[in-house]
Amino acid sequence: MACTDNAMRALFLLALVCAAHAGKDTKESSSAPAKEGGDAKAASGPGGSFDITKLGASGNGKTDSTKAVQEAWTSACGGTGKQTILIPKGDYLVGPLNFTGPCKGDVTIQVDGNLLATTDLSQYKGNWIEILRVDNLVITGKGTLDGQGPAVWSKNSCAKKYDCKILPNSLVLDYVNNGEVSGITLLNSKFFHMNVFQCKDMLIKDVTVTAPGDSPNTDGIHMGDSSGVTIVNTVIGVGDDCISIGPGTSKVNITGVTCGPGHGISIGSLGRYKDEKDVTDINVKDCTLKKTSNGLRIKAYEDAASVLTASKIHYENIKMEDSANPIIIDMKYCPNKICTASGASKVTVKDVSFKNVTGTSSSPEAVSLLCSDKIPCTGVTMDNVKVEYSGTNNKTMAVCKNAKGTATGCLKELACF
């Protein structure tokens, strides 16, 4: 695309905004200046280890420790071989962090303590923790990246207009190859908790992502223009999509994820902007969705600006626990009714399979295939889909428009074909 990386990221973020409720506005308790940083050489232990407390960071949750953390990155990224940044137990208040490569060696960020994002929005030019062009990166530990979103969620206006001011994402990985994020918790992001852009071969495992169900645009993990992303044994409960897979993404494997609250596991939205690329080879297996507002969702704009295809998408062994819209393909996606809903679709959805999808639905419509009359969905297969409406005031049903495929072993109410 003929635009900057930042502009590209902004387009993907804007394409995904959904209706949400604002949180309470609170003030940051303190932003006392950090004490003078230590000596990076003195902070370095055996094997190239940089302890942020030896560089001046204070774990009292009030003192600004940004300088110490940034200095630890500069030293570790500049070292050869295996390098480690240690964030010990404690609460460390930090502003925006920019971890830019390429690095001379392989860097591990060991998060044993908690990083707290400043709530002073004037300090942010973009995201909170942004990692750019770093290969073989590992972020691991039992600590927390706390976005402190409740203090600023009331400033989110994206439910009302597309040209809203985007609040900072918590953890942004741009052009990172062969990376790993494991063990950590992402808490109460101001906007998205994790955004993966133009990355290859990323492993996300044993991660916890948590925010209230009514927090605005707090997607758990979003990815766009990336390939080879694997998400394993991760628990996500947020105010928007648990996982969202944007345009240009391929070879994604999602296994053992628990989602809820949230808007489900989504592909899209697709087609909002020009020059979007295809989505293909997406596999979602052995997952549980609990009380989500959507389940397995593919969403595309009816007035799509791009010609693109979503294909080779497979869902298997998925359990629904009172989720609304457990299976939904929505080719007329129009959040908050602030888009044009009368255009001709340019998005193709084909070769989508649902196998062993069971459990309960909080909406009578357990299956909704709302495809375009101009470009119908094709190659949709449903095998042993048995999701029943849990209420008593209606019956389980399927709503199917312009979809072509086959159904075997499904509840008779859900057999669209």
Instruction: Report, as residue numbers or ranges, the catalytic residues.
Output: 263
Peptide bond into 269 cis (omega under 30): yes
Sign of CA dihedral 64, 66, 67, 73: positive
Q: For 218, phi and psi rounded to 5 degrees? A: -95, 50
- Give CA separation, 300 vs 15, 279, 329, 337, in Å: 10, 12, 8, 14
Name residue, tokens 């105010």.
Answer: 239
Measured CA to CA, the distance from residue 196 to residue 187 in angstroms comes to 17
Measured CA to CA, the distance from residue 367 to residue 57 in angstroms comes to 52
Which of 67-71's residues contact partners 24+ apart within 8 Å by CB, and which partners? 67/34, 67/37, 68/34, 68/37, 68/38, 69/94, 69/97, 69/115, 70/97, 70/98, 71/37, 71/40
Measured CA to CA, the distance from residue 153 to residue 191 in angstroms comes to 8
Residue 288, H or E segment: strand 279-290
- Give CA separation, 110 vs 49, 103, 385, in Å: 10, 17, 42
Residue 86, H or E segment: strand 82-87
Q: Take residue 329 and report the two structure tokens written for it.
A: 């393909």
Measured CA to CA, the distance from residue 58 to residue 189 in angstroms comes to 22
What residues does 98 pair with on adjacent strands? 130
Name residue, tokens 């094997």.
Answer: 47
Q: Which of 10, 8, 17, 13 is nearest to 276 (CA)?
A: 8
Q: Take residue 39 and report the two structure tokens written for it.
A: 């000596």
Give yes or no for a contact between 39 and 195, defined as CB atoms under 8 angstroms apart: no
% helix, strand, coil for the chain, step of 5: 10, 45, 45
